Amino acid sequence: MDGPGSGLAVRAPASGAELEACAELMAASEPWVTLRRTAAASLTILRDTAKEVWIGLVDREFAGFMILDLRGPLCGYIQTVCIRPDLRGRGVGTAFLAWAEERIRGESPNVFLCVSSFNQGARRLYERLGYRVVGPLTDFIVEGHDEILMRKTRGSWNAYRAAAEGDPQISRPQERPGDSSGPSTREAHE
């Protein structure tokens, strides 16, 4: 891929200040403005150690972030993806999503995400990348707007478990889905 997306690097957050910068970016950006998500509420989500936060870098500079949830029946849920406004539309989000899909591949046959009903641009991107609509969560965050649950799948859990026998990259598939008792996997990937 040409453009900055091809040069994306991903790492864990380096400091609390970096998480605060993510929260500020999120609170200043759609769809979270319409969803009335404050920087303080964003920071609470970003500090939840049960989830994974990943920082995207382009030319070694902060380019955006992603929050993943690898627990429960929606294991493989991309809760948030946000790219710096001046870098949008240049392939960085596509590269970050590809990175996340590879990260999730070791944990689940499914990648889930939600897109706000008014966020046509993001929905177009997800559909282009192979995500399909599961259904609307009506009035889910704010009244008057739905969150559309989308899924990109490699197949059933049983097929995934069978394939995992010969794939060392797939970890603990016998504990999925629904297992939330294991340790956070973030440490294993830092």
Ligand X SMILES: CC(C)(COP(=O)(O)OP(=O)(O)OC[C@H]1O[C@@H](n2cnc3c(N)ncnc32)[C@H](O)[C@@H]1OP(=O)(O)O)[C@@H](O)C(=O)NCCC(=O)NCCS
The site for ligand X (CB under 6 A) is made up of 5, 29, 31, 81-83, 88-94, 115, 119, 121-122, 124-125
The residue number with the shortest CB distance to ligand X is 93
DSSP-derived letter for residue 65 is: E
Q: Tell me how far, at minimum, the Cβ of 52 lies from ligand X, in Å.
A: 17
Compute the least distance from the CB of residue 167 to ligand X, in Å: 28
Tokens found for residue 33: 């403005």
CA-wise closest residue to 52 among 84, 83, 21, 77: 77
Nearer to ligand X, 53 or 115 (CB): 115
The three-class DSSP label of residue 25 is: helix
**CA distances to 60, 86, 102 from 113, in Å:** 27, 23, 15
> Which of 8/164 has CB closer to ligand X?
8
Cβ proximity to ligand X: between 13 and 91 the closer is 91
CB of 12 to ligand X, least distance (A): 19
> Does residue 147 contact residue 126 with C-beta atoms inside 8 Å?
no
Among 10, 3, 121, 141, CA closest to 64? 10
Q: In angstroms, what is the minimal distance from the CB of 84 to ligand X?
A: 8
Choose between 75 and 95: whose C-beta lies nearer to ligand X.
95
Q: How many angstroms from the chain centroid is the CA of residue 126?
A: 12
Query: Rounded to the nearest whole angstrom, what is the least distance from the CB of residue 161 to ligand X in the complex?
Result: 29
**Residue 76 or 91: which CB sits closer to ligand X?**
91
